[in-house]
Chain A
Amino acid sequence: IAGITQAPTSQILAAGRRMTLRCTQDMRHNAMYWYRQDLGLGLRLIHYSNTAGTTGKGEVPDGYSVSRANTDDFPLTLASAVPSQTSVYFCASSRGNEQFFGPGTRLTVL
């Protein structure tokens, strides 16, 4: 693994289903982030974690939860997906002032 990986690459999900998006980094960065990217809205921060064991809410946290059990992994869970959560989701990590982004997960909720 080099950098940040996200899984799955894409997913079509029925409304009401539970879904976890996975994110793993091998750079030993302390801080990690989840963003959603929507046309005309840019990137909006969902949740973040400054270090393992801590998490915080971003701009649009409702309907999403995260955990940070260790430095490398930062999964994002949709407990009961809704169509408005259709988006492209990006995970990122940082050490210092530069953020590194994963390739994204395209999620469609029907």
Chain B
Amino acid sequence: AQSVAQPEDQVNVAEGNPLTVKCTYSVSGNPYLFWYVQYPNRGLQFLLKYITGDNLVKGSYGFEAEFNKSQTSFHLKKPSALVSDSALYFCAVRDVNRDDKIIFGKGTRLHILP
């Protein structure tokens, strides 16, 4: 069965520093991988996705993520954090060989400290 893990419940980063939010996954076949962001009292917003091709994927708001097949990871990164990046971040995976269901991680709360 497919699954996704976000090992950190919360990540604190000083403004201007680089940030990383970790995600690992497990699928039987090839993965489609996604990152979503949720601001308070809002629905989830799409940030970026990996389907195929270049392992480094660039997305919205200056975020990027690197697909690492050997480590089954898809960590979210940003070179310089902003206070406005503070939110709840979800990693998600879909098994290419299965149906359309996407499985979400439990989320990581990112706090950017001014």
A and B interact? yes
Q: How far is the CA of A4 from the CA of B45 in the complex (A)?
A: 12
- The A/B interface has a contact count, at CB < 8 Å, of 55
The residue in chain B whose Cβ has the minimal distance to the Cβ of A106 is B41
Asked if A64 is an interface residue, CB under 8 A from chain B, the answer is no
Q: Which residue in A35, A42, A56, A97 is a CB contact (below 8 Å) of B94?
A: A97
Q: How far is the CA of A104 from the CA of B41 in the complex (A)?
A: 8
- Whether B90 contacts A43 by the Cβ 8 Å rule is yes
Q: Which residues of A contact B99 (CB under 8 A)?
A: 50, 56
Name the interface size band of chain A. Answer: 20 to 34
Interface SS majority for chain A: strand
- Whether B43 contacts A104 by the Cβ 8 Å rule is yes
- Whether B46 contacts A100 by the Cβ 8 Å rule is yes
- Whether B43 contacts A99 by the Cβ 8 Å rule is no
Task: Report A67-99 residues with CB < 8 Å from chain B CB.
Answer: 90, 92, 94, 97-99
Q: Which residues of A contact B49 (CB under 8 A)?
A: 97-98
- Whether B106 contacts A40 by the Cβ 8 Å rule is yes
Known: A48-B100, A58-B101. A99 touches B107 (CB 8 A): no
CB distance from A40 to the nearest CB of B (A): 7
Question: Chain B: residues with CB nearer than 8 A to chain A?
Answer: 9, 32, 34, 36, 41-46, 49, 51, 90, 94, 99-107
Give me 27 A-to-B residue pairs in the complex whose CB atoms sit less than 8 angstroms apart, sorted by A's number: A4-B43, A31-B100, A35-B104, A40-B9, A40-B106, A41-B106, A42-B107, A43-B90, A43-B104, A45-B102, A48-B101, A50-B99, A50-B100, A58-B101, A90-B43, A90-B44, A92-B44, A94-B102, A97-B32, A97-B94, A98-B34, A98-B46, A99-B46, A100-B46, A101-B36, A101-B45, A103-B42
